[in-house]
Amino acid sequence: MSNGDTTLTPKTSTKPKLERPKLYKVLLVNDDYTPREFVVLVLKAVFRMAEETSYRVMMTAHKMGTCVVVICTRDIAETKAKEATDLAKEAGYPLLFQTEPEE
């Protein structure tokens, strides 16, 4: 008979390694038809930017051709870009927001 000796083996628990989601940039693309005031309005409404910040982003896109508006996860970036572009289409402007992977 045994004298009560029991062998305990430790339980191994494996934690799955979680990766951070890939980030995407929302880009404001400059055009020659959309009024500056409307671009500032869209940036304030969709991206919740302050007046001064939205003006600075709009002017950067105006001078450079494009400007990064925000960097976030893919689904949020695509949703915001679509919302802003659709808002411009409803108003009759060709304003365009694009998404691309962040490097």
pLDDT tens by residue, 37-66: 999 999 999 999 999 999 999 999 999 999
In this prediction, residues 65-77 reach a mean pLDDT of 96
Here the tokens at position 3 are: 């004298």
Predicted structure pTM score: 0.79
Centroid of chain to Cα 85: 14
**Confidence label for 15 from pLDDT (cuts 50, 70 and 90):** confident
Nearest to 31 by CA among 59, 67, 62, 68: 62
Cα–Cα distance for residue pair 49/53, rounded to 1 Å? 6
Count Cα atoms within 13 angstroms, Cβ side, for 78: 5
Q: Does the pLDDT value for residue 18 go beyond 60? A: yes
Confidence of residue 70 (pLDDT cuts 50, 70, 90): very high
